[in-house]
Structure 1
């Protein structure tokens, strides 16, 4: 009787594993191709912007919040975005992104505290980017993978959600609102 049930158990286990793997797969940016308003990177990240956000630990507890000023400019199709973050404990962090278009109409992004580069993929109102960020931690620097998901919710306003992982485990979450400064 045991041998009769073994193939059935194996098939059930395989179906469960496939279901779990498909449930964990992240949506592709192309799902948002028809959404409005369109996320035009050069238009949005040009001029002055502000950002306001929270950082949560892996259990979802808010452990920090911050406000930031951003300034973007474009020259010959290449963008520079300078960011200054002021955290609730008084810490200041600075980041400067360089965004270079690639042959597919997307952008390669590098920054002073990013290992390697991120590829910004844009479709409709969404921008997804994955990169390795160097994070100061207890007098040292940790590298965490950041999965950035930005959504333009109306002209001049972007919501950004990020999941940070280390060794494949989720270790933190960022939620940010980025707004263009009206002149």
Structure 2
């Protein structure tokens, strides 16, 4: 019985700390992916382990284009250890504030919703760690600071447990 009560309390506490997209409904400026992710952008970021220790730093060059409801974001990553990688996102605006996306290392379809200046984007990603492939879930929060700057915070989890975090700053060039 004590174990059951402990599990219930833990689930309750995790639920209390959850961020809510609705809390951002009245924030400005309003984030529309097709407006911010348009043209050339530059990003600076870092990867942290589950304890908040710095694992890697990186820079990203982005080129984004839209035709109607469909967008493409090309990303060129350069990590501080010299590793380079490329990701190409194909995005679709599916409603006034909803989007879907696919990329080569994304498992299935990413889904996102905007409210005010915030976007909540969730997807599974295949990553390589020490020669082994893993699938992790990403809970991605983006916050538009102004017309040219956006802050991105991503929690990475596996089996519901946080395994890392990505912090990213993106600006239009």
| TM, length-normalised to structure 2 | 0.91
Question: Which secondary structure does the structure 2 equivalent of 1:116 belong to?
Answer: strand
1:23 equivalenced with 2:13 (yes/no): no
Q: Count the aligned residue pairs.
A: 171
Counterpart Cα distance in 1 of 2:56 and 2:110: 25
CA contact (8 A) 2:97 2:115 kept: no
5+ residue gaps, structure 2, are none
Q: Quick one: which of 59, 66, 73 aligns to 2:58?
A: 66
The residue aligned with 1:153 is 145
1:126 equivalenced with 2:118 (yes/no): yes
CA contact (8 A) 2:69 2:94 kept: no
The residue aligned with 2:73 is 81
Q: Quick one: which of 132, 155, 159 aligns to 1:167?
A: 159
Question: Which secondary structure does the structure 1 equivalent of 2:31 belong to?
Answer: coil
CA contact (8 A) 2:70 2:92 kept: yes
Per the TM alignment, residue 17 of structure 1 is displaced from its structure 2 partner at its CA by: 6.0
The residue aligned with 2:88 is 96
Counterpart Cα distance in 1 of 2:56 and 2:73: 23
Question: Which secondary structure does the structure 2 equivalent of 1:48 belong to?
Answer: strand
User: Would the alpha carbon gap of residues 76 and 14 (structure 1) be closer, same or farther in structure 2, given more than 3 Å must change?
Assistant: closer
RMSD of equivalent CA atoms: 2.1
Counterpart Cα distance in 2 of 1:29 and 1:85: 29
- Larger Rg computed on CA atoms: 1
Per the TM alignment, residue 141 of structure 1 is displaced from its structure 2 partner at its CA by: 1.5
User: Would the alpha carbon gap of residues 102 and 65 (structure 1) be closer, same or farther in structure 2, given more than 3 Å must change?
Assistant: same
Question: Which secondary structure does the structure 2 equivalent of 1:42 belong to?
Answer: helix
More strand by share: 2
